[in-house]
Each structure stands twice: as structure tokens, then as C-alpha cells.
Chain A
Amino acid sequence: MRRASLGATTARMWPYYPDLLATPVPRYTSFPTAAEFSDAVGLEDLDRELAQISGDISLYVHIPFCEKICWYCGCNTGASNRRERLVSYLDALRREIGLIRRRIAGRAQVRRVAFGGGSPNAISPTDFVGLVTDLTTVGTLVDPVWSIELDPRSLCRDWGRVIAGVGITHASLGVQTLEPHLQAAIGRLQPREAIVAATGMLRRCGITSLNFDLMYGLPGQTLDDLRRTLEQSVALEPDRIALFGYAHVPHLIKRQERIDARSLSGQRLRFAMAEAGHELLTAAGYRAIGFDHFALPGDALAQAAEFGRLRRNFQGFTDDASPVLLGLGASAISIFPDAIIQNEKNAGRYRMRLSQQKLPAALGVRRSAQDITIAALIERLLCQGEASLGAAMTPALIEALDPFVERGLAGRAGDVLTILPAGLPYARTIAALLDPYRQDSTRRFSSAV
């Protein structure tokens, strides 16, 4: 085994070991990850799973439209400029809601409804309220928690009435960066005033948990750029901040070709940025949730982390404890205890399936008993920072863990694996050691930091 210089390049909070971060790893927002999805799983599986639903469930609704698409974005979205496309999509979504309603009415209690995209506010306020009305008749909505992702650039006053009228309490704003030159570099121009105004309006209209999405590793971004954006963001007092490293994979996401790869930070600077972000935000009073999320101590996410109830799903870290998540809309993913099923990703194919009165399940993966076990372990490691591995602590794993244990990034006591504070940036890399599906995956996954 190669013993690289164990002297860390920095004597700060997180030692930097590039060799350990060399292999791209999944974000583990599900296990097995989307890389394992295939079309061997589809409608039959969804039918079977829906027939078994009972108890608490959560809903996710995908609106794959944006008024303007940013160059870095890997989300499933398209331009919203042609109203007919939006209207056809909403018709199809309504049909999907109706089909789901017929299957599960009376058997499920909906505790949460989340809207994501794209930009859910790319559709008109009236259309959105119509969608909410349709959802109200699915199963039994027991005072659910409503959450929505929003584009601050298209947040008109009517949206304030909608948020108050629907009773939405959780919102996430796409901020990314407040530096104008960086905004230009990623195709997302939004003046700071727009963020300030949006934040004010959202608070007045009833949002009690506000998240800012921010990014590091943007083309040409310096540590100072990041610090300024973080300080200005903290001043607006969001309850949560998600600080993501930009993943440059133009071979997978064509629109990223517009981003100048030459001015992208190398991994060492990305690492320094992640660390600077962590230090700044924790010093400002935010609790770190895993590696890249932050929440004020009173926020539900921080509370969940504090009391060991933190979970992980496609929206990142969450306090959602429902065992079932139903995804509606193109590319939406449904999670069941023993299967993960994704809808048609392409909006056109999604609409076509529904025009035939069929639910648009297209691909996914069935979870074996081993999958379920490993999923729980990976989730616990990433959420709690510690897991009792039982039989999964094999000699091979112990050997693979050695470089991390030696460098004080992880601890092993019997079958208990702990990610130490210094090892937080390596959490996904360590979790990947438990993943039997992991292969050399430079092309398929994102950088470890």
C-alpha cells in the first residue's frame, strides 16, 4: 500500500489527502444509486408497490421547467417559454395524480408534499394552486408540510398569495453565488436585491424554514468570492444553507459545455473552499449536517440531526421519516422499502404514457435484503457519522479502511465504524467502501469533494 506523505498540507480542521479523494463517488441520495437503475423494473413493480401502501407517505412533484436554464445545472428541466408545453405537461401530471388517487385513496396519509424541478414557479400561480387542489384529493392529507424550490428571479407578488393560501412553510431559493462576475460565468444573473426582496416576501407569507442553495468550485471563483457570498447570505438569516461543489461533467450534461473549464478550480482549492464554508457557517451559528448542509439549531433539520432522526433522500438530508415517497412528474423517483422506481425522464414520453392512461414508471431497481441492509448502514454513516456494521465489517473492508483510520479520518472499534470530525470530507468515499456496486467510476460519479 502506498504510504503517501502523511503530513497534511494544512494543519487545519480537515487534512487534505488528494489520493483518498481521487476516485469519484456517488452522493448516496439513495442506495442502490441511480447508476444501478435499469428498465428491468417498471410498471409491474410500481403496481405491486402501490397495492401495498398504507400509513404515512410523502409526495414529491417534479416541474421540469425553468424560465431560464443555468449552464451548470444537471437537473431535469427545459425552457418554459411555450405555454402549450407547460399546459400539456400539467394535463399529464393531473392525469398521473388521478391514477395514483384511484390506487391509494383511503389507504395512505400524506404528511409531506415537496415541489422541485426545474423551477416550480415557472408555472403560473393559478396553475400551481390548481395542482395543489388536485393533490388535496390524493389519499388523506393530514396537515402536510408543504415545501417548494423557487427561482427568486420569477417570484412575483402573486406567489406570495399562493404561499400564504396553500400554507407552504418550507422553501428553497436557488442563490448559488452573489458575485456578479461569477453569475455571468454560469448564466444566472440575479441581483442581490432580488434575493433580499424574495427572502422578505417569503418570510411575510409564512415561510418558516428557508434554505439557500449555494455553490463553490464555480469557474473563476476565489475563496474571497465564496466568503463574501456566504457572509451576505448569512446576513439574510436563512434557516438552512446547502453548499454544493460544482460538478463539471459536460459529457453527461451538455449545457455545461458553455462553462469555461479552464477557469475551474483544481481539487485542492475546492477542498479549501468546502473547508472555509464549513468554518464560516459553523462560526456563524449553523450546525453542520453531514458535509455540505447547514442548519440553524432551531430548524427541523438540525433537530433531526441532534436527536438521531436525520435521513437521506433525493432532496439531500431530510427529517422526513416516511418509509414511502411517491414521485410524480417526469423523472420523479419513488422510494419504497424494497424498490426504487423512476418515471420516464423525457417529458414527451412521460406525456405519451399518461395519454394511454398508464402510470409512467420506466426504470429502477429492486432492493435485495442485502441492499436494504447496506442502504441503512450508508445512511447511518452519512447522517449520524457512525454505524455498527455487524457482518459487513469484513477483513477486506478493514484493510480498505486502513488509510482512513491511520490518518485519523475514521475510527474502528469492533464492528463500529465512526467518521471522525477530521474525516467529514471523506464521508462519501468511506461510505463507498461498503458499496458492492462501486466500480472504477471516473465517468459516472461526481468528484468526492
Chain B
Amino acid sequence: MSSCEACVVRNRAICAALDTEEVGALNAIGRHRDLVAGESLIWEGDDSVLVANVVDGVLKLSTGTEDGREQIVGVVYPSDFIGRPFGQTNSYGVTALTNARVCVFSRRDFDAFARQHPALEHKLLDRTLNELDRTRRWMLLLGRKSASEKVASFLLELSERLVEPGCKVDFGLAHRRLSLPFSRQQIADVLGLTIETVSRQFTRLKTEGIVDLPSRREVTILDRVALEAEAG
């Protein structure tokens, strides 16, 4: 049984609009799902339509094209709200890139709850507009950017979204150390590049003094302005 009070994204997710009592009520209709890296989210049972909050981890949203290719339509991070139906053909699937925890609600239950809580409804519009922005930026990245722009954009996004719970994001910090929650191969898959290209880009950014690579899974952003310029 999940406990909203202890939830790491309590203050950032859509539930931030609710008071303690309301959160209690939301708690009753939500369920935690834990996923290991690579696992897809599927809702069993009659009501296959659901919405979810990302509590922890990073997940990808993807859809298939007719000739069998996978098209990634977004990447979601803690406190993101996923409001489209999934688990059905032709809607997008949700797959964990890292071990992840999501809080899921049947869409019907959530809808009913939202209608009774205007504050949530209002927050929902906020979130949905964020989701639109996120999707647009993502499609722009996929469609138009070069390999170097893609890698730089993705690193910037990770540095903004993978914030330690409770930490204030402080861009005044000259150095920003990032723990990459996934491999170079996974990054390549998500960006539609080869692992060689991704590795080459990482090396280049290091050579130019824009980032440092203390280990295979860590990136320190040394020159944020330069990274933003790289992102296009």
C-alpha cells in the first residue's frame, strides 16, 4: 500500500495541489508499480486505460511504426504526469529505462477525483501543457537536430530533471555533477543514434572542456553556456 506522505515527488507532482485529506483520498485510488529497467507498464484487468505519476526513475514513451520501427515520443522523469492511455495497440507504450516506480490510477477513477477537486483539475491543465511542451521539444530534437545537438540537449535535460529529491536546482553552481542512470547504449537508443556516435560526442565534449567524465556513469557540466550553445 502506497503512502503519499512519504512520496519523494509529493511536492512536485500533480498531487502538490492537494491538501493532506485529499491526498489520502487519492492514495486510496492509486497503486504503486515498480518496474525494472527494460520492463513495460501494462495494466491488467477490465480497465486498461490509466494515467500515472512518475515517482522515481526514467521511462521512455514509444510507439511503433508500420514497418516495425520504434518511435520514441518522449522521456519522462520523476514528478512527470503521463495522461494518455497506454497498454493498447497504437497508443504509446511506457517502458522503464532505469529501475522505476510509478503511481498509477485508472483513468475513470482519476477523472472522477479530478472533477471533485478543482485544484487538481487546474494543476492537471498545467501538467498537460508541460507534457505538450516536452513532447514538442522531443519531436524537434528527434526530427531536426544533429548528433551533437541531440547529445547536448539530452545532457541538459537530464541535468534539469534528475534532481535529488529535496534539492533546490541551483544553476549558479559552476559545476553540476550528474549521475547517468543508464548506459551509453540506452542513450543511443533513445536518441536514435549509434553507440559509437554517442561515445564520440561525449569524448568531444570532454576534449572541448564543456564537460568532464569522472566515470562511465558520471558527467560533470563544466560550461553550461557552451553546452546550451551545442544543443542548438
A binds B: yes
Q: Which A residues lie at the B interface, using CB under 8 A?
A: 83, 87, 91, 94-95, 98-99, 101-103, 105-106, 125-126, 129-130, 132-134, 136-137, 140-141, 158, 161-162, 165-166, 357
* Contact across chains for B135 and A136 when beta carbons are under 8 A apart: yes
Smallest CB–CB gap between B122 and chain A, Å? 8
Q: Which B residues lie at the A interface, using CB under 8 A?
A: 49, 63-66, 71, 73, 83-85, 88-92, 111, 121-122, 124-125, 128-129, 131-133, 135-136, 139, 143
* Contact across chains for A132 and B132 when beta carbons are under 8 A apart: yes
Extra 6 A-B pairs, beta carbons < 8 Å, given A102-B63, A129-B129? A126-B128, A134-B84, A136-B132, A158-B122, A166-B132, A357-B89
Chain B contacts for A158, CB-based, 8 A: 122, 125
State the CA gap A132–B65 with chains docked (Å): 20
Smallest CB–CB gap between A93 and chain B, Å? 12
Determine which of B64, B66, B73 lies in contact with A137 in the assembled complex, contact meaning CB atoms within 8 Å.
B73
Q: List 27 A-B contacts (CB under 8 A).
A: A87-B111, A91-B85, A94-B84, A95-B88, A98-B89, A98-B91, A101-B63, A101-B65, A101-B90, A102-B63, A102-B65, A105-B71, A125-B125, A126-B125, A126-B128, A129-B128, A129-B131, A130-B84, A133-B132, A137-B139, A140-B139, A140-B143, A141-B136, A165-B129, A165-B133, A357-B89, A357-B90
Chain B contacts for A94, CB-based, 8 A: 84-85, 91
* Contact across chains for B83 and A130 when beta carbons are under 8 A apart: yes
Determine which of B65, B73, B124 lies in contact with A106 in the assembled complex, contact meaning CB atoms within 8 Å.
B65
State the CA gap A133–B132 with chains docked (Å): 5
State the CA gap A427–B108 with chains docked (Å): 52
Chain B contacts for A87, CB-based, 8 A: 111
**Contact flag A98-B135 (CB < 8 Å), given A126-B128, A162-B129:** no
State the CA gap A103–B131 with chains docked (Å): 24
State the CA gap A15–B122 with chains docked (Å): 57
**Contact flag A99-B90 (CB < 8 Å), given A125-B125, A133-B131, A162-B129:** yes
State the CA gap A126–B129 with chains docked (Å): 8
Closest 7 CB pairs between A and B? A98-B90, A165-B129, A129-B128, A133-B132, A102-B66, A137-B73, A126-B125
A83 to B, closest residue via Cβ: B111
A357 to B, closest residue via Cβ: B89
Smallest CB–CB gap between A106 and chain B, Å? 7
* Contact across chains for A161 and B91 when beta carbons are under 8 A apart: no
The winner among A83, A125, A129, A357 for most chain B CB atoms within 10 A is A129
* Contact across chains for A95 and B135 when beta carbons are under 8 A apart: no
State the CA gap A94–B88 with chains docked (Å): 11
**Contact flag A136-B84 (CB < 8 Å), given A102-B64, A126-B124, A357-B90:** no
Chain B contacts for A140, CB-based, 8 A: 139, 143
Chain A contacts for B63, CB-based, 8 A: 98, 101-102, 137
A101 to B, closest residue via Cβ: B63
State the CA gap A161–B122 with chains docked (Å): 11
State the CA gap A325–B5 with chains docked (Å): 50
* Contact across chains for B139 and A141 when beta carbons are under 8 A apart: yes
State the CA gap A126–B128 with chains docked (Å): 6
Chain A contacts for B143, CB-based, 8 A: 140
Determine which of B83, B90, B121 lies in contact with A102 in the assembled complex, contact meaning CB atoms within 8 Å.
B90
* Contact across chains for B129 and A161 when beta carbons are under 8 A apart: yes
State the CA gap A136–B136 with chains docked (Å): 7
Chain A contacts for B65, CB-based, 8 A: 101-102, 105-106
Chain B contacts for A133, CB-based, 8 A: 84, 128, 131-132, 135
Smallest CB–CB gap between B72 and chain A, Å? 10
State the CA gap A137–B140 with chains docked (Å): 10
State the CA gap A125–B123 with chains docked (Å): 12
Chain A contacts for B73, CB-based, 8 A: 137
Chain A contacts for B71, CB-based, 8 A: 101, 105, 137
B64 to A, closest residue via Cβ: A102
Smallest CB–CB gap between A86 and chain B, Å? 11
The winner among B91, B121, B129 for most chain A CB atoms within 10 A is B129
A97 to B, closest residue via Cβ: B90
State the CA gap A140–B111 with chains docked (Å): 31
The winner among B71, B133, B136 for most chain A CB atoms within 10 A is B136
